[in-house]
Amino acid sequence: METVRTTCPYCGVGCGVLARPDGGPVAGDAAHPASGGRLCSKGSALAETTGLADRLLHPEVNGRRASWDAALDTVAEGFRRALASHGPEGTALYVSGQLLTEDYYAANKLAKAALGTANIDSNSRLCMASAVAAHTRAFGEDLVPGIYEDLELADLVVLVGSNLAWCHPVLYQRLAAARAARPEMKLIVLDPRRTASCEGATLHLPLRPGSDVALFAALLVHLHDNGFADAAFLASRTEGLEPTLQAARAVAAEAPALTGLAPSLIQAFCSLFARHPKVVTLWSQGVNQSSAGTDKANALINCHLLTGRIGAPGMGPFSITGQPNAMGGREVGALSTMLAAHLRQDRPEDVALLRDYWRAPALPEKPGLKAVDLFGALAAGRIGALWVMGTNPAVSLPRGDAVRAALRKAPFLVVSENSWRAETLDMAHVRLPALSWGEKDGTVTNSERVISRQRRFLPPPGEARQDWWILAEVAKRLGHGGFAWNGPADIFREHATLSGLGNKGTRRFDISALAALDDAGYDAMPPTRWPCPADGPAPARLLGTEDQQAHRLRFVATPFRAPAESVTGEFPLRLMTGRLRDQWHTMTRTGAVPRLMAQAPEPLLTLNPGDAPAPEGSLVQVESPHGKAVLRLKLDPGMQPGCGFVPMHWTARFAPAARVNASMGGTPDPVSGQPELKHVPFRARPFAAGWHGFLIAQQNYGTDLAPWCAVSPVEGGWRHELAGRETPAEAFARLRALLPEGEWMLLEDTAAGLHRAVLLDGDRLAAAIAVAPEPALPPRDWLASLLTGGVPESRRAALLAGRPVGGPPPSPTICVCHGVREDAICGAIRAGACSVAAIGEATRAGTNCGACRPEIAALLARVQAEAPAAESPVPEPA
């Protein structure tokens, strides 16, 4: 079977994928420089996400199917009306780091050239805006100086607010392999909670949420006062050290109190950093998603500038991007504070250049609204028409309930989407079916500035069209002549040409060498790193002493600011939110894949045991000053006391009571406008329920079965976790009545409120119900596995107990790729496997994507601690 070389549509690592036009399993592309053939659990499961269930396949206007012509006319008319009633600043686009560069370019041009509004913002405002602002303040331009190889060449890697093992697994595996080859290489993790990325780390600093600036102030002062400043680099390449050092001094002494870290731990961190010139400081959302996010990023960049550790092999500050094309969106300038091709809104000559190039007399001269303000303006009636594309703001923005209310009363809302699983689609006046990964063509740029092709290998389903085409059709209807493209290659050439226009080294984003590609050259384009100017090669690493064109680098003073909302007696804890290993954002892609749901079928609140309001496994209500959510409680001694963690992923499609963003305050950073999505104050209380239960069935019965419901796909059917206020008997009768008649097997103890029922369909399970007054219920894993068959006559009696007679209790799947369960891994350890590699040899666990290796390492430590040296296995060489 011919395979097609393409790129993974998930995270910013940007791994190469070999995809099959018959929809068969994908493989890693060994020729891709980012990944060398590796894929993580999400990437490996890509073929399971290309089905058409839940796909939006036809345009709709006001809930009725419409022709493309009618839908596009309606969109153009809606925007024309809004222009007339509200002016250009009353129109807006809200787009996404998951659009391809060509689509993104078209969206930006439609907003700024055809509508004449700077109100185009992106979910990148929730993601990368603080990194962008910090880069711009320090480097004069938004650029990442280093490349992935630097993580392998470094002697010390510091992860700041990054759970790399789960969120950028292939890069983490590259780092882990480098450490295995050079065991002297160090890893330090700065994260309030102990994450999978801490497994095997040299140091973990569980700092208080929001306190990073204090820690880096202490580091800056330590480096300066102990002779680690690079005087030559400071003199020739930087400015602004003195005020920065002064501001740092004002905070450094308070660092232990502000971070909650022992002075000895801070000292250990500072001296490791000082002693390793080859250091990469990689940061992510624990830094960016903060009301002091830009300062946090500049505080760590300051330490690299002081020591001249930037732009050379194995060293530098490194902002890892979240989405597959977060970087491409910044290149095309599709944020309300940028123009295009790194042209700056605050430079009149740049505005003039773009106005000429686009023949856009209406090009806005002032920045537009940033995401949070944009939705505020929508709520206040100041936006007459909004177009949402490739993002699900009804779920992902803070103050979720207010955002949903604003979307519902929007005068005119257009949503371009792939999937009905995106709730924002429910609120749209016009629904436009967009092509999805595998069906569309274009480019994306990963975290190390490598532009890769995403190529089509599947036929377009239904009437879906690629976003650039949809945008161009609307622009034409609005009378703009600059959208006559025949395909993404045309757009790419226009974009590449612009990047070189009037540039002469003033903007490092220059890909003018690629403007000469013909269609065949564009199709065949190998992964290519920018800058690639027409007038000759550029270095791979930027801003170092080798880089002749580097701008002067600026220190930025970063006085300490605590998170915007303080904890109080009423809301004494701090809630952090973030990601799980196998889910992607609002679950529109990964939520329907059984093996990706296996790691966490329900939304969890993780607390330190000392903060638990109820026993583990109970349902608890999280309440913040802004909203509430009900979640299953998990206890973890690795969680910092006083803090909690909830994954961002669950939506009303999967668990309506567990949408965490209703509770997020999201105060924006004053410089970048990025909302604080990591630090809201909260309290947790037991959730009073009259009954708890589950329903496992061949179909999805939806989320209305009970006041608390979490649905998840399993092979051959669906699992529904439930709780409500009725009596167990009432709830059981109601659930039973939903299901078909048949030969039900029942087990009931009405006095105790215990009810169980099982229905078979040949040797397959058709349905299983369990209801009880308490959350302790029979295990579901084994029952769910019977939906695909295999219940012999002799084992039927066991069904009501939920576990095979005499068999081992079902245990959770650890390795999703090979389906290896915890009990098999523990068995291998007890049989003598004493390294992650040996466990892999015995069970295959962790041998594909490797994302579960930190979990395997944790199990290894746990089991070895349980049975100290009983069998004293001979340790293997590392």
The amino acid at residue 367 is P
Q: Kindly report the number of other CB atoms within 10 A of residue 68's CB atom.
A: 16
Q: Kindly report the number of other CB atoms within 10 A of residue 25's CB atom.
A: 12
Q: What is the end-to-end Cα distance of the chain in Å, rounded? A: 39
According to the binding rule CB under 6 A, does residue 219 interact with ligand SF4? no
According to the binding rule CB under 6 A, does residue 39 interact with ligand SF4? yes
According to the binding rule CB under 6 A, does residue 467 interact with ligand MGD? yes
According to the binding rule CB under 6 A, does residue 320 interact with ligand SF4? no
Per-residue binding string, ligand MGD, 670-689, x by CB under 6 A, is: -------xx-----------
To 5 degrees, how large is the angle CA 199–CA 201–CA 206? Answer: 90
- Binders of ligand SF4 among residues 168 to 187 (CB under 6 A) are 168-170
The tokens describing 232, both together, are: 């030559």
For the residues of 324-343, what is the DSSP string, one character each? TTHHHHHHHT-STT--STT-
According to the binding rule CB under 6 A, does residue 11 interact with ligand MGD? yes
Shortest Å distance, C-beta 175 to Mo ion: 20
Task: Identify what 43 binds: Mo ion, ligand SF4, ligand MGD, none; CB under 5 to 8 Å per kind.
Answer: ligand SF4
Stretch that binds ligand MGD, among 136-144, 278-286, 499-507, 839-847 (CB under 6 A): 278-286
According to the binding rule CB under 6 A, does residue 82 interact with ligand SF4? no
According to the binding rule CB under 6 A, does residue 210 interact with ligand MGD? yes
Shortest Å distance, C-beta 95 to ligand SF4: 20
Q: Where are the beta strands (DSSP E) in 8-115?
A: 16-19, 27-28, 60-61, 64-65, 91-95
Residue indicated by tokens 């915890």: 822
Phi-psi region of 36 (alpha: psi -120 to 50; beta: other; left: phi over 0): left
The tokens describing 480, both together, are: 């703009």
Shortest Å distance, C-beta 148 to ligand MGD: 15
CA distance 546 to 712: 53
CA distance 263 to 521: 57
100 or 353: CB nearest ligand MGD: 100
127 or 472: CB nearest Mo ion: 127
CA distance 840 to 859: 13
- Binders of ligand MGD among residues 316 to 375 (CB under 6 A) are 322-323
Shortest Å distance, C-beta 427 to ligand MGD: 13
Closest CA to 663 of 724, 577, 721, 604: 577
Q: Is the dihedral of CA 594, 597, 598, 602 positive or negative?
A: negative
Stretch that binds ligand SF4, among 38-46, 269-277, 303-311, 697-705 (CB under 6 A): 38-46
Number of residues that bind ligand MGD (CB under 6 A): 59
3-state secondary structure of 229: coil
370 or 589: CB nearest ligand SF4: 589
According to the binding rule CB under 6 A, does residue 592 interact with ligand MGD? no
3-state secondary structure of 108: helix
CA distance 473 to 67: 13
200 or 873: CB nearest ligand MGD: 200
Number of residues that bind Mo ion (CB under 5 A): 2
According to the binding rule CB under 6 A, does residue 624 interact with ligand MGD? no
According to the binding rule CB under 6 A, does residue 15 interact with ligand SF4? yes
Cross-strand partners of 17: 6, 28
CA distance 808 to 794: 17
The tokens describing 610, both together, are: 């000392």
In sequence order, which ranges of 13-93 are alpha helices (DSSP H)? Answer: 41-44, 68-86
For the residues of 244-306, what is the DSSP string, one character each? HHHHHHHHHTTHHHHH---HHHHHHHHHHHHH-SSEEEEE-HHHHSSTTHHHHHHHHHHHHHH
Looking only at the bridges linking them, the beta strands covering 120-122 and 91-95 are parallel
Shortest Å distance, C-beta 289 to ligand MGD: 6
According to the binding rule CB under 6 A, does residue 173 interact with ligand MGD? no
CA distance 302 to 560: 14
345 or 424: CB nearest ligand MGD: 424
Residue indicated by tokens 């245990």: 811
Task: With beta carbons less than 8 A apart as the criterion, state whether 593 and 546 touch.
Answer: no
Per-residue binding string, ligand MGD, 141-170, x by CB under 6 A, is: -------------------xxxx--xx---
Shortest Å distance, C-beta 661 to ligand MGD: 5
Task: Identify what 15 binds: ligand SF4, Mo ion, ligand MGD, none; CB under 5 to 8 Å per kind.
Answer: ligand SF4
To 5 degrees, how large is the angle CA 123–CA 125–CA 129? Answer: 140
Task: Identify what 160 binds: Mo ion, ligand MGD, ligand SF4, none; CB under 5 to 8 Å per kind.
Answer: ligand MGD
Stretch that binds Mo ion, among 314-322, 349-357, 615-623, 844-852 (CB under 5 A): 314-322
CA distance 312 to 358: 38
Q: At what angle are helices 853-866 and 822-830 packed, to 10 degrees?
A: 50
Shortest Å distance, C-beta 338 to ligand SF4: 25
Q: Where are the beta strands (DSSP E) in 680-716?
A: 680-686, 691-697, 708-714
The tokens describing 467, both together, are: 């976003």
Q: Select the residue interacting with ligand MGD from 337, 452, 583, 712 (CB under 6 A).
A: 583
Task: Identify what 473 binds: Mo ion, ligand MGD, ligand SF4, none; CB under 5 to 8 Å per kind.
Answer: none
Q: Kindly report the number of other CB atoms within 10 A of residue 831's CB atom.
A: 12
Shortest Å distance, C-beta 643 to ligand MGD: 8
Q: Kindly report the number of other CB atoms within 10 A of residue 454's CB atom.
A: 26
Task: Identify what 49 binds: ligand MGD, ligand SF4, Mo ion, none; CB under 5 to 8 Å per kind.
Answer: none
Per-residue binding string, Mo ion, 319-338, x by CB under 5 A, is: ---x----------------
According to the binding rule CB under 6 A, does residue 578 interact with ligand MGD? yes
Q: At what angle are helices 212-225 and 293-306 packed, to 10 degrees?
A: 20
The tokens describing 359, both together, are: 């023949």
Instruction: Give the length of the chain.
Output: 878
According to the binding rule CB under 6 A, does residue 212 interact with ligand MGD? yes
According to the binding rule CB under 6 A, does residue 284 interact with ligand MGD? yes
469 or 691: CB nearest ligand MGD: 469
According to the binding rule CB under 6 A, does residue 581 interact with ligand MGD? yes
User: Number of helices (H) and strands (E), helices first, in the chain?
Assistant: 29, 34
291 or 703: CB nearest ligand MGD: 291
Shortest Å distance, C-beta 468 to ligand MGD: 10
Give the CB-nearest residue to ligand SF4.
43
244 or 391: CB nearest Mo ion: 391
According to the binding rule CB under 6 A, does residue 78 interact with ligand MGD? no
Shortest Å distance, C-beta 38 to ligand SF4: 7
Q: Select the residue interacting with Mo ion from 120, 127, 133, 759 (CB under 5 A).
A: 127
Task: With beta carbons less than 8 A apart as the criterion, state whether 300 and 213 touch.
Answer: no
According to the binding rule CB under 6 A, does residue 436 interact with ligand MGD? yes
According to the binding rule CB under 5 A, does residue 167 interact with Mo ion? no
Task: Identify what 399 binds: ligand SF4, Mo ion, ligand MGD, none; CB under 5 to 8 Å per kind.
Answer: none
Shortest Å distance, C-beta 16 to ligand SF4: 9
SS (H, E, C) 341-367: CCCCCCCHHHHHHHHHHCCCCCCCCCC
Cross-strand partners of 315: 312
By CB under 6 A, name the binding residues for ligand MGD: 11, 96, 98-99, 123, 126-127, 160-163, 166-167, 190-193, 195, 209-210, 212, 284-286, 289-290, 322-323, 389-393, 395-396, 416-419, 422, 434, 436, 467, 576-579, 581, 583-586, 588, 648, 660-661, 664, 677-678
Question: What does the binding site for Mo ion look like in residue numbers (CB under 5 A)?
Answer: 127, 322
Contact residues toward ligand SF4 (CB under 6 A) are 8, 10-11, 13-15, 35, 39-40, 42-43, 168-170
